[in-house]
């Protein structure tokens, strides 16, 4: 082989070796991906005597048996069928089970945008899943709106539907269109994806009693495969009808005393239980990268089927062994690593020994005993939701380092090979402390037709402790609570007060962080400023008692984002130490102040630096000198603005008062920060050089009175017009005093201002030429937001970009009152003063109607800086101003903690077959209205739905001319004709309200906001056609099938009907 060929061969071998190494690396990566642990980052449950995971742990750790007699009322359906003799045909011999406290008839339909009509047809299991899913996301700290459009998967186990047995007893005439979508299995998952706008895989899973754990297995598989990035998984079971009870009693599946005696010699059948559990899952790498609160890990899962056994419902021990071994292999661990098994263990004499002996064969090679237990001994067998209940028990046991007592185990089953391996049933509590060795547990679910599922869990990875040295600290914190309705908010306040009372050691900062960043923010709002859990609880109690509190705010979110004006304070508001607390606790504020100091130092015309002047001196002399006052105020106000803006609070319009206008110009983008500081520093220096022989006085007088008083002197000027009876004069000292004396003799009140010079007067003219030179050195830009100049008090986008404007600004009066009137005229409702003291707010309020606006000081000399900021922020929050809470809490190292979930406001929605009509009326009911006659029933037809899919113009002829027109249309049209023009809109709104209530099945005919969308109220494509039909029948005019898509609110619809439809087809006298 030639040397060249040999070198080429070596080179090719190197390339091939590298490719092989790369492929091996990729194979290993894919294998690791297939086995990546899945983090449980949130969970919720509704179980017997336990409405949430915390209550479930209380039940488990206290060894509570939650089995009870069927509650009267919603479980009275069993009473006619009860007979304790199991041999009596057509009867149930047991009425004991793990029943939920929550009635299956009740649901917070409006929260989920479901109409009363549709809610009545909805399987109670679907209802429960929606509530528990929301709670699970809240527990995970995920704001549902932020997940909209995400690749989130939904996997829900469901294996029966009792409600449909009720519905088939209805008269077929009463069957509503929603019964199908409300009672099929697939919508139990699909409705979640629809409501939350999830786009990942969506499956309803029926594998009998293994359904919920099979759903979790599928969720884990889909996450590892990359089909989704987040998953909700779990299961549900509710009982509302006797049919399945009759079947189970017929086959003697149920324990006569209603208890699961799992693995015990006395095992004689299972106890039924109802409930729901949902967990939130994420790949571990993603959860750690996102800083999620990891509760535990799913390390591996497996799923299989018995195949052919001696009978469809006879379990196979060998198949169970196979599934468990595959789950362990998937988890990458050995049998001896597992400490605890949460068994399927229903308490049957056949199933328990097969399951236990299968476990013995898999786990026999061990030294430490394998602990067995089953939550079914506490809460019964949840059938389709059994697996997730057992899994949640494991998570809680890992977190609390304790294996709860397994109940009703007096004597071990003689059919289990107890002596073949170290195995122990947890007949008493067993400590399970975290050590340097990872704790593992398994959970099994077995379906009655041979489906076997097993999952392996481990404790969550350790969390690094907070580094106190690395985080900023705040002395006070803001708690925000919100709900969709006022009653819900009041209940939420009660829940939080109770929670804080029972969890006094919670970190208050973490509680506030959780409510602010990890919760949805709804219409009705409350905010509390406090420094501790105990103080916050006091304020919540005071609110519940109806007491006023300066640090608690309540309000309703505006239907549109309100306009905010930032008002920047002028001279006279300064004091030593202004903003000190913010400088010490708020990184953005500190950063901007330090930036301003660097720029001022580079300008170099001040002997003392900004920060030493503000925070390292007790001498007020320098700060009172305008050369220092003006840059100091500018820096403080610009830092305040930067802090507010970093939290997402952007002003709609800015306006300054005198020197405050320079900050306003920077915020509006007219000046850069560097140019703004350059101008204000030069302005202050040049004014400082002028003689201090001037004086400024505030007068409670009109402009006309003041003008008359100074008309005979050129030495006094009007410096500011702050209100109709508030004017400031400025000028030569003696001349000002003479004018003041003259006005005081007329009974006008006066007040000398604490300033060094006579600003905004002719005494400033000597500095103008030099200042003009500085002004011409800077660059001006068109404003990026609305800016009101002092000199005119009106919006002037071009004026402030003219350098000469800033020269004139020195001597011309501040037309503050005109500026406030302009803000009012433009619809500004929120006025925030950005400055060391609230001077402008008082003046501005006097310019406007007494009850108008929200007035927010930022800093006040007599109170904590941070308290003032939080009070303003709380008031902004409760009226609906959007706040970037993530940015607000950045740099502080806070963590999510457990807080109460949403307080459901349930109402009864039920189709009672003993009634001649469903409790929530179907679409066949006629519309009744005080102004109208009785129309014939209006139902959507096949043609209507075809029109909706492929809308065509149906003609514009006036149906009033057609034969067979309804008396309804005549009544409404005639009523409109005799109604005053300004009242027609109210009449139509009232009528549409009535029609909508009938279509949606809302018997209470509750009023709704004119700007609230019809589809947000629960209307859908079917009911939109029905409402269209009713409406066009009412007015006698043909309407488009896409009417409510084009005009989705009552306000838009009524305007269209009046201006375009009725105006064309109906002749009004006016």
Burial class (CB in 10 A: 0-12, 13-18, 19+), 162: buried
**Residue 139 three-state SS:** helix
Three-state secondary structure readout of 796-856 = CCCHHHCHHHHHHHHHCCECHHHHHHHHHHCCCCEEEEECCCCCHHHHHHHHCCCCCCEEE
Two tokens at 212?
């919920």
**Residue bearing tokens 């000027």:** 717
Q: How far is CA 1023 from CA 307, 907, 908, 948, 1070, in A?
A: 47, 21, 21, 12, 35
How far is residue 839's CA from residue 816's CA, in Å, rounded to a whole number?
12
Rounded Cα distance, 732 and 522, in Å: 57
Q: What is the DSSP code (8-state) at residue 666?
A: H
Annotated catalytic residue, options 74, 344, 477, 760: 344
Alpha-carbon distances, residue 275 vs 49, 50, 135, 195, 397 (angstroms) = 10, 9, 14, 21, 20
Q: Around Cβ 452, how many Cβ atoms within 10 Å?
A: 29
DSSP 406: P
The half-sphere exposure of 872 on its side-chain side, counting CA atoms within 13 A, is 23
Active-site hit among 202, 209, 228, 512:
209
- Other C-beta atoms closer than 10 Å to the C-beta of 5 total 9
Separation CA 857–CA 567 (nearest Å):
10
Look-up of token digits 């190494």:
21
Alpha helix ranges (H) inside 35-93: 53-61
Assess whether 228 carries a catalytic annotation.
no
CA quadruple 872, 877, 880, 886: dihedral sign: positive
Beta strand segments in 37-181, E: 38-46, 68-69, 96-97, 106-107, 152-157
In sequence order, the β-bridge partners of residue 373 are: 342
Is 344 assigned a catalytic role?
A: yes
CA dist list (Å): 45 to 205, 375, 446? 18, 13, 21
Locate tokens 């047809």: which residue? 121
Quote the strand ranges of 669-763, DSSP E.
694-699, 716-723, 726-732, 750-752
From the number of C-beta atoms within 10 Å of its C-beta (0-12, 13-18, 19+), residue 650 rates as: middle
How far apart, in whole angstroms, are the C-alpha atoms of residue 539 and residue 792? 46
| Residue closest to 643 by CA, chosen among 592, 701, 608 | 592
Kindly compute the dihedral angle of the four CA atoms of residues 510, 515, 519, 523, in this order, to the nearest 10 degrees.
-170
Distance CA 683, CA 671 (A): 15
| Active-site choice (217, 381, 657, 824) | 381
Per-residue DSSP letter, 988: H
Tokens of 1025: 């056609």
| Beta carbons within 10 angstroms of residue 247's beta carbon | 11
Residue 1051 CA: distances (Å) to CA of 164, 422, 660, 988, 1066: 39, 73, 41, 10, 20
Structure tokens at 884: 């970037």
Is 847 annotated as catalytic? no
Among candidate residues 692, 642, 665, 655, the one with its CA nearest the CA of residue 775: 665
User: Using an 8 Å Cβ cutoff, are 676 and 666 in contact?
Assistant: yes
Task: Residue 14: count other Cβ atoms within 10 Å of its Cβ.
Answer: 10
Cβ–Cβ under 8 Å, residues 78 and 70: yes
**Catalytic site positions:** 209, 344, 381
């Amino acid at each position: 082989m030639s040397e060249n060929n040999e070198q080429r061969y070596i080179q090719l071998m190197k390339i091939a070796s590298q490719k092989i190494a790369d492929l091996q690396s990729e194979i290993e990566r894919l294998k690791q991906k297939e086995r990546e642990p899945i983090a449980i980052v949130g969970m919720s449950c509704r179980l017997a005597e336990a409405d949430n995971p915390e209550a479930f742990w209380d039940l488990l750790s206290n060894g509570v048996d939650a089995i009870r007699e069927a509650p009267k009322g919603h479980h009275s359906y069993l009473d006619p069928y009860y007979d304790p003799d199991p041999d009596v045909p057509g009867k149930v011999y047991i009425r004991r089970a793990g029943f939920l406290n929550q009635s299956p008839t009740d649901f917070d339909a409006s929260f989920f945008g479901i109409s009363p009509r549709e809610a009545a047809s909805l399987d109670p299991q679907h209802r429960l899943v929606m509530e528990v899913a929301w709670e699970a996301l809240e527990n995970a700290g995920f704001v549902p709106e932020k997940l909209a459009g995400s690749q989130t998967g939904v996997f829900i186990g469901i294996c029966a539907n009792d409600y449909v047995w009720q519905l088939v007893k209805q008269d077929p005439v009463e069957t509503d269109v929603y019964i199908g979508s409300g009672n099929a299995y697939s919508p139990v998952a699909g409705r979640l994806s629809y409501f939350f706008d999830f786009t990942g895989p969506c499956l309803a899973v029926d594998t009998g009693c293994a359904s919920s754990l099979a759903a979790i297995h599928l969720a884990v598989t889909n996450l590892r495969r990359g089909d989704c990035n987040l998953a909700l998984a779990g299961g549900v079971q509710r009982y509302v009808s006797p049919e399945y009870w009759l079947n189970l009693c017929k086959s003697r599946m149920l324990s006569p005393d209603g208890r699961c005696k799992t693995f015990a010699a006395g095992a004689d059948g299972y106890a039924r239980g109802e409930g729901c559990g949902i967990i939130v899952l994420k790949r571990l790498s993603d959860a750690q990268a996102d800083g999620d609160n990891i509760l535990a890990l799913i390390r591996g899962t497996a799923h299989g089927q018995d195949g052919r056994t001696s009978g469809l419902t006879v379990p196979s021990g060998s198949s169970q062994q196979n599934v468990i071994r595959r789950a362990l292999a998937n988890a990458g661990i050995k049998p001896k690593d597992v400490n605890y098994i949460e068994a399927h263990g229903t308490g049957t004499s056949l199933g328990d020994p097969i399951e236990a002996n299968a476990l013995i064969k898999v786990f026999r090679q061990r030294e430490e005993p394998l602990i067995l237990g089953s939550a079914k001994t506490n809460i019964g067998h949840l059938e389709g939701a059994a697996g997730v209940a057992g899994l949640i028990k494991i998570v809680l046991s890992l977190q609390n380092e304790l294996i709860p007592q397994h109940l009703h185990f007096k004597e071990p089953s003689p059919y289990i090979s107890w002596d073949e391996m170290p195995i122990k049933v947890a007949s008493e509590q067993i400590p399970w402390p975290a050590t340097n060795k990872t704790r593992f547990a398994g959970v099994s679910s077995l379906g009655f037709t041979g489906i076997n599922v097993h999952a392996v869990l481990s404790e969550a990875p350790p969390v690094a402790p907070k580094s106190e040295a690395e985080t900023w600290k705040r002395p006070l914190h803001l708690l925000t609570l919100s709900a969709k309705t006022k009653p819900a908010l009041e209940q939420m306040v009660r829940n939080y007060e109770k929670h804080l009372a029972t969890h006094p050691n919670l970190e208050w900062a973490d509680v506030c962080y959780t409510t602010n960043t990890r919760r949805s923010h709804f219409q009705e709002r409350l905010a509390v400023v406090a420094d501790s859990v105990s103080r916050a609880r006091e304020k919540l109690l005071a609110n519940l008692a109806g007491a006023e509190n300066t640090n608690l705010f309540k309000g309703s979110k505006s239907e549109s984002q309100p306009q905010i004006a930032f008002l920047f304070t002028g001279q006279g508001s300064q004091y030593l130490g202004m903003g000190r607390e913010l400088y010490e606790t708020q990184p953005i504020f500190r950063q901007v102040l330090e930036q301003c100091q660097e720029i001022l130092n580079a300008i170099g015309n001040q002997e003392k630096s900004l920060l030493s002047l503000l925070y390292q001196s007790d001498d007020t002399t320098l700060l009172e000198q305008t050369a220092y006052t003006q840059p100091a105020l500018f820096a403080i106000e610009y830092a305040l603005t930067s802090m507010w803006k970093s939290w997402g609070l952007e002003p709609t319009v800015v306006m300054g008062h005198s020197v405050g206008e320079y900050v306003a110009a920077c915020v509006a983008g007219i000046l850069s920060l560097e140019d703004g500081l350059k101008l204000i520093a030069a302005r202050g220096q040049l004014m400082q050089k002028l003689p201090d022989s001037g004086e400024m006085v505030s007068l409670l007088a009109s402009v006309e009175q003041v003008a008359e008083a100074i008309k005979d002197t050129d030495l006094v000027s009007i410096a500011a017009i702050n209100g109709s009876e508030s004017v400031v004069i400025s000028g030569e000292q003696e001349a000002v005093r003479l004018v003041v004396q003259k006005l005081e003799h007329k009974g006008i009140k006066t007040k000398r201002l604490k300033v060094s010079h006579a600003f905004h007067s002719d005494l400033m003219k000597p500095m103008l030429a030099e200042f003009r030179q500085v002004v011409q050195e800077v660059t001006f830009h068109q404003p990026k937001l609305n800016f009101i100049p002092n000199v005119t008090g009106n919006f002037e986008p071009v004026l402030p970009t003219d350098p000469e404007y800033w020269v004139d600004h020195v001597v011309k009066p501040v037309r503050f009152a005109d500026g406030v009137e302009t803000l009012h005229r433009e619809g500004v409702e929120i006025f925030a003063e950005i400055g060391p003291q609230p001077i402008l707010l008082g003046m501005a309020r006097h310019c406007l109607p007494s009850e108008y606006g929200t007035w927010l000081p930022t800093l006040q000399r007599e109170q904590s800086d941070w308290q003032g900021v939080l009070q303003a922020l709380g008031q902004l929050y409760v009226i609906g101003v959007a706040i970037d809470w993530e940015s607000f809490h950045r740099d502080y190292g806070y963590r999510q903690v457990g807080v109460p979930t949403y307080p459901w406001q349930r109402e009864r929605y039920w189709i009672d077959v003993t009634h001649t009509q469903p409790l929530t009326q179907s679409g066949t009911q006629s519309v009744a209205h005080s102004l109208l006659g009785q129309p014939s029933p209006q139902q959507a037809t096949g043609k209507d739905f075809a029109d909706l899919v492929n809308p065509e113009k149906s003609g514009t002829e006036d149906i009033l001319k057609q034969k067979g027109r309804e008396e309804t249309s005549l009544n409404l049209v005639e009523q409109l004709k005799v109604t005053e023009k300004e009242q027609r809109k109210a009449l139509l709104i009232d009528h549409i309200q009535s029609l909508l209530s009938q279509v949606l099945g809302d018997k209470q005919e509750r009023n709704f906001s004119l700007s609230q969308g019809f589809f947000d109220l629960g209307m859908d494509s079917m009911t939109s056609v029905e409402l269209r039909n009713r409406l066009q029948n009412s007015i006698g005019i043909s309407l488009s099938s896409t009417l409510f898509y084009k005009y989705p609110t009552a306000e838009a619809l009524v305007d269209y009907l009046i201006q375009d439809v009725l105006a064309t087809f109906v002749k009004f006298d006016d």
